[in-house]
Amino acid sequence: MSETAWTFARVAAAKPELGPLVRLHEALADAVGAADPEPRFDGTPAVHWVQGTAVLDASDRDALAAPVAGAFARAARAAAASVEGVRAAASEILDATSRPGFAWTERIAAFRDVPEETAVPHPALFRFLLLRAMAAPASHLARSLSPPHPERWLRASCPYCGVPAAAAIAGEGGGRTLVCVLCGGRWRREGLECLSCGEERSDKRLVLAARELGPASLEACATCRGGIKVFAAPDVPDGPPVALEVLTVHLDVLARAEDVSRDETALAAVFPPA
């Protein structure tokens, strides 16, 4: 990892106003850090990648249920202790998810989606906490497996955890390196077409904020208004770029002002619901 990579400590020192969000993520990282199960799956990653299936989706969800449930409970308690405004909601969620027979296997299978109101209390907060808990096994895969060849993985979502790409690392040539905000997985994608709609015309690519204004740029598609953050290579840590996402939250504010949308699931993995 580059010595210039943005860590939570560096973000807090550079942007004190982001302290509450930094402290929340530090607490969540400490809470789920002990849960690092090695997901089990049949066959080789390449078999699933050729089929367009992320490795985490091919894993044994029953085996993940217990460690993810434990990480989720620790994350919920950490969030309650870090953010006074979510204490009551976190308590209700913990009460519901600690009951015998709670459908953890089903929730893991759909961890990227907001649950139905009848399934869990405070569905948006539940998903944020579940995404943070799922980051543990997902990051294990991203650390343990080599990235797929571009011809074996054609999707714009992460080959390890399946979360759609919302960020990339700046590079040279006719492709790009995408980076997952949940697990830190990196994979090469050839071409510079829009990740959301496939628009290939160069005159439809917009740069709404250049890296001269900070450690990331915001690029968008004029056709569908889909956007992506682009980080400079030396700034990105080996793991998930959550600290960089927090540091550059002003780009998300700009995106909303310009009617540009980054992937909602990726954002939900970083920014808790209001």
Dump pLDDT digits (tens) for 117-170.
999 999 999 999 999 999 999 999 999 999 999 999 999 999 999 999 999 998
- Burial zone of 119 (CB within 10 Å; 0-12 exposed, 13-18 middle, 19+ buried): middle
What residue numbers bound the domain in which 107 lies? Answer: 8-268
pLDDT of 239-255, one tens digit each?
899 999 999 999 999 99
Q: What is the pLDDT of residue 17?
A: 95
Q: What predicted TM-score, i.e. pTM, was given to this entire model?
A: 0.93
Question: What backbone phi and psi angles, to 5 degrees, belong to 267?
Answer: -65, -40
| Residue 212: per-residue pLDDT | 66
Cβ burial, residue 55 (10 Å; 0-12/13-18/19+): buried
Assigned domain for 273 exists = no
- Residue 22 is encoded by which pair of tokens? 């930094």
* Token pair of 24 as six digits: 């929340």
What is the secondary structure of 121-137 as a DSSP string?
SSHHHHHHHHHHHHHHH
The answer to the question of residue 83 being in a domain is: yes
- pLDDT of 219 reads 92
Q: Which residues in the chain come in under a pLDDT of 50?
A: 1-2
Q: What's the pLDDT at 2?
A: 47
Q: Is residue 225 part of a domain?
A: yes
Q: DSSP letter at 225? A: -
CATH, residue 261:
3.90.1670.10
Would 43 be classed as within a structural domain?
yes
> Does a structural domain hold residue 3?
no
CA dist 80 and 89 (Å) reads: 8
Q: Would you say 150 and 159 are in contact if contact means Cβ atoms under 8 Å apart?
A: no
**Non-local CB neighbours of 219 within 8 Å, separated by 6+ positions:** 205, 206, 207, 208, 227, 228, 229, 230
Asked if residue 153 belongs to a domain, the reply is: yes
Q: What local confidence, expressed as pLDDT, does residue 208 receive? A: 87
How many independent structural domains does the chain possess? 1
Does any domain span residue 166? yes
Note whether residue 230 is domain-resident.
yes
Nearest alpha-carbon partner for 251 in 220, 226, 218, 227: 218
